[in-house]
Structure 1
């Protein structure tokens, strides 16, 4: 199929892009286009104006600012995953990006675009939620920021106003010695996940959990944090038994839907498995866990 007719405008400045959005309530922003273009072709999206921000080179950056890794809106997924700052400070982000589609998609798609688009089966919204990221935006009323916990409101829906543009995402850096893991189950390589999990785990030298962070995706209309499982782990030794118990608790609090790809029961079972395995993998990346495996 081909998209419905629209007006294409390539913005030279962020201000121009915001003005173009404000002038057309049916306008959409495009950066890499790897999520939006397929929706245009299937006529699931019918913007009156397509505002291209790809020329805004000032938004093509990765930097560490005040303990946060900041990714600009036009930085591609491939560039972010390969960036030395990401590799050094936030490898879980690189691991998540590696599971997105195929290399051609990652070469064009942007981190901020994936988060703003918010497919609930996508990897990066879940990473943002697990890390309590801040989504920075700009609109006619000036700069604004959204906490990831309140940004994702439903399938393809966010708290972003129609006349606002995401300019960057800030990922707080985990505390030193925090282990991480990322895993997903898909029908085949490159497909959207049926279920995925992000886990971060921090322990003391004896292996007692000081902080746990868990986020699932593919199980609801938004990525889901698992506070009951996180609280269960905190203050307990990081053992396989504890991880299995956390997995059971997580599954009990899930209410996934069924579709042509997977039943609710299957998603719940896979989610429990991924919670247990990602916790074990995250613990193995902590100093206490790596010592135990030695």
Structure 2
């Protein structure tokens, strides 16, 4: 199936993109395109116009700023995979295949907020911050407030996610994933990170409408206990033809135990 006809334009700068979105609220922003284009081909999404921001160099690359690594939203998964960031290189290795990793972007994945995406769990585990820009200025949103629902992030209409700030000082991190064999999306993924203060943050993806912190796992690990079982309530999870809610709850327990053992 082919997508419906649409207009296409490329942004020359972040400001240019923001003005274009203000002038045409129906514009749909496209980065790497690995989430939007398949939906358009199936006509699940039918935007009348696309605004391409992939070529914006100001949104690419990884740099250091004080106690943070600052990752441009248009940095590809392949670049993240080759980086020295905590946790994210391991997570990037689980994303799609080489074609997806060479074109898809970390910012596109985060803003899209797919409930089965890998990066949101990593962002929650490391306590990332998201820099979001609109014509009215710039704001920073913590990971705990970034993913607000299924395919819904804190990025509002007329705004762009420009950078992700990842704290330094993380001494150990792990990602465990049970993936769908065809799509490679997470049936369940669990991320752990030990921070500079010695505390462990944990999160999971793929099992609920959005990635979430694993509070019970954090309490157990930070209290010197084993991961154990019963970390999430199956009644709160998603079930589909790939995995029931109860099976996803079981996978959270299993992957959490594996991740905790690797974290040490």
What's the TM-score bracket when you normalise by the shorter of the two chains? over 0.9
Q: 2:250 aligned with 1:269, yes or no?
A: yes
Deviation at 1:49, TM superposition (A): 1.9
Deviation at 1:203, TM superposition (A): 9.8
Check conservation: 1:121, 1:195, Cα contact below 8 A. yes
Q: Please, which runs of 5 or more residues in structure 2 have no aligned partner?
A: none
**1:175-195 CA distance string (max 9 Å, x none):** 4xx222111112326521111
Counterpart in 2 of 1:251?
232
- Whole-Å separation in 2 of the counterparts to 1:137 and 1:202: 24
Counterpart in 1 of 2:199?
211
SS in 2 for 1:251: coil
- Whole-Å separation in 2 of the counterparts to 1:66 and 1:227: 29
Counterpart in 2 of 1:159?
154
Deviation at 1:128, TM superposition (A): 0.9
Counterpart in 2 of 1:109?
104
Check conservation: 1:201, 1:279, Cα contact below 8 A. no
Q: Please, which runs of 5 or more residues in structure 1 have no aligned partner?
A: 205-209, 237-241, 284-294
CA pair 232-74 structure 1, distance change in 2 beyond 3 A: same
Deviation at 1:98, TM superposition (A): 0.4
- Whole-Å separation in 2 of the counterparts to 1:27 and 1:62: 28
**1:66-118 CA distance string (max 9 Å, x none):** 111111122111012113x33xxx1x100100000100000000111110111
Check conservation: 2:150, 2:210, Cα contact below 8 A. yes
> Residue 145 of structure 2: which of 125, 147, 150 is its match?
150
Structure-1-length-normalised TM-score = 0.85
* 1:1-294 to 2 correspondences below 5 Å: 1-83=1-83, 85-86=84-85, 90=86, 92-175=87-170, 178-188=171-181, 191-201=184-194, 210-236=198-224, 242-245=225-228, 248-252=229-233, 255-283=236-264
Structure-2-length-normalised TM-score = 0.94
- Whole-Å separation in 1 of the counterparts to 2:104 and 2:38: 12
Give me the CA root mean square deviation. 1.8
Check conservation: 1:101, 1:189, Cα contact below 8 A. no
- Whole-Å separation in 2 of the counterparts to 1:213 and 1:200: 5
The structure 1 segments of at least 4 consecutive aligned residues displaced by more than 4 Å after TM superposition are none
Looking at secondary structure, tell me which structure has more helix per residue: 1
Check conservation: 1:243, 1:275, Cα contact below 8 A. no
- Whole-Å separation in 2 of the counterparts to 1:7 and 1:107: 25
SS in 2 for 1:127: helix
- Whole-Å separation in 1 of the counterparts to 2:59 and 2:180: 35
SS in 1 for 2:208: coil
